[in-house]
């Protein structure tokens, strides 16, 4: 098929800034072509969205239901809005994506209050939750109704199933619900070598933001309701939050391709392995300190500021805490061993200058 579109980028340029920088996996692009052609009912009544529900059941149980959305922020806003009242609040780690990287959307769009807690590794515990989980009868304070955790965390660390179980039991004991931001849920499952259900519905999580874009999809995520009794009017909340896709088949078929033959797991295992290769090389390099356990596809490091600035001219990546010299290096499903080795060589060259 001919197109008048032209390539405006150099496909040979590689970076370690974000797993969002990668393109779409070839199997995802093939799936989009399969779903194209002919007419399908709009707004989620298509055959692909119907089949997606059966796949979701196989991964998360018969009571789970998926609501495809456009993006991760939308997934989090829709999920949290469905769990909270207008006077409700959400307890989250200070580093949580909903607090740091979503432009205030959970508070401005969902109309809730975030109650954040500093953590050393990005992970909440029952004890840390209790720093904000109080005052339910105090009309002067937003009511804590939800605990939101991220798996894996924004610092690249991974909760064990037992840790999430303890959080869920603690939150439910307070009458609160639990949301899991799973933007990189596949990387966590690959790291733990367990099914995704082992640290979601099996341990008490009520609702999940299921990530696909960072793991090879072109666009789209899904809100997965794991506990129907905890959620009200999801269909209406999704529409009101501008996350209802008219041509939903093109989101659903990507999720189908990701979940059918374990593409989600293959991609995650590969990106995790590339992060381990990068971390191993960094540990052998004088002048660089790894800051957190490398458990998924992220490496956080500290090195001289001027070295980072020179290295950024050769490979794109972000400062995490620029005054401290902390940086974040992300690996993707399409990161190659040659990419990692080339980056390590460039790092050593800039350190030697």
69 preceded by a cis bond (ω within 30 of 0): no
Residue 2: predicted pLDDT: 87
Kindly report the average pLDDT of the chain as a whole number.
97
What is the pTM assigned to this prediction? Answer: 0.97
pLDDT band at 251 (very low <50, low <70, confident <90, very high): very high
| CA angle, residues 28, 34, 35, in degrees to nearest 5 | 95
CA 151 to chain centre: 7
The tens digit of pLDDT for each residue in 265-309 reads 999 999 999 999 999 999 999 999 999 999 999 999 999 999 999
As a whole number, mean pLDDT of residues 104-119 equals: 97
Q: Which of 108, 110, 95, 90 is nearest to 206 (CA)?
A: 90
Q: Is 288 left (phi over 0), alpha (psi -120 to 50) or beta?
A: beta
Q: Which of 111, 102, 43 is nearest to 74 (CA)?
A: 102
- Six token digits for residue 63: 């009571």
Residue 232: predicted pLDDT: 84
The tens digit of pLDDT for each residue in 174-189 reads 999 999 999 999 999 9
Q: For residue 190, give Cα distances in angstroms to 105, 108, 239, 267, 340.
A: 30, 34, 33, 9, 20
Residue 1: predicted pLDDT: 76
Torsion angle defined by CA atoms of residues 128, 131, 134 and 138, in that order, rounded to the nearest 10 degrees:
-150
- Six token digits for residue 152: 């894996």
Residue 119 in this model has a pLDDT that exceeds 90: yes
The tens digit of pLDDT for each residue in 184-206 reads 999 999 999 999 999 999 999 99
From the CB of residue 116, how many other CB atoms can be counted at a distance below 10 Å? 18
As a whole number, mean pLDDT of residues 230-254 equals: 96
- What proportion of the chain, given as a percentage, has pLDDT over 70? 100
Residue 136: predicted pLDDT: 97
Residue-level length of the chain? 353
Residue 343: predicted pLDDT: 98
The tens digit of pLDDT for each residue in 1-60 reads 789 999 999 999 999 999 999 999 999 999 999 999 999 999 999 999 999 999 999 999
């Amino acid at each position: 098929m001919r197109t008048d579109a032209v390539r405006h980028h150099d496909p040979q340029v590689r970076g370690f800034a974000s797993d969002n920088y990668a393109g779409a996996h070839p199997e995802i692009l093939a799936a989009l072509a399969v779903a194209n052609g002919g007419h399908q009912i709009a707004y989620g009544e298509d055959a692909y969205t119907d089949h997606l529900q059966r796949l979701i059941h196989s991964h998360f149980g018969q009571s789970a239901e998926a609501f495809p959305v456009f993006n991760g922020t939308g997934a989090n806003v829709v999920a949290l809005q469905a769990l909270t009242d207008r006077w409700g609040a959400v307890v989250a780690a200070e580093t949580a994506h909903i607090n740091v990287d979503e432009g205030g959307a959970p508070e401005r769009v969902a109309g809730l209050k975030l109650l954040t807690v500093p953590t050393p590794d990005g992970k909440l515990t029952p004890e840390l939750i209790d720093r904000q989980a109080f005052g339910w009868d105090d009309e002067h304070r937003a009511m804590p109704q939800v605990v939101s955790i991220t798996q894996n965390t924004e610092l690249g660390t991974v909760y064990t199933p037992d840790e999430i179980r303890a959080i869920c039991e603690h939150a439910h004991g307070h009458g609160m619900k639990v949301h899991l931001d799973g933007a990189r849920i596949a990387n966590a499952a690959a790291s733990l070598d367990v099914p995704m259900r082992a640290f979601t519905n099996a341990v008490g999580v009520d609702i999940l933001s299921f990530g696909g874009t960072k793991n090879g999809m072109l666009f789209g995520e899904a809100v997965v309701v794991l506990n129907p009794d905890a959620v009200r009017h999801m269909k209406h909340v999704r529409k009101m939050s501008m996350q209802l896709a008219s041509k939903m088949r093109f989101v659903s078929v990507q999720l189908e391709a990701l979940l059918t033959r374990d593409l989600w797991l293959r991609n995650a295992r590969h990106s995790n392995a590339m992060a381990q290769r990068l971390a191993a090389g960094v540990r052998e390099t004088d002048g660089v300190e790894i800051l957190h356990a490398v458990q998924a596809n992220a490496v956080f490091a500290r090195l001289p500021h001027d070295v980072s600035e020179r290295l950024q001219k050769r490979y794109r990546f972000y400062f995490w805490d620029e005054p401290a010299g902390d940086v974040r290096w992300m690996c993707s499903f399409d990161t190659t061993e040659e990419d990692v080795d080339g980056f390590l060589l460039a790092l050593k060259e800039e350190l030697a200058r």
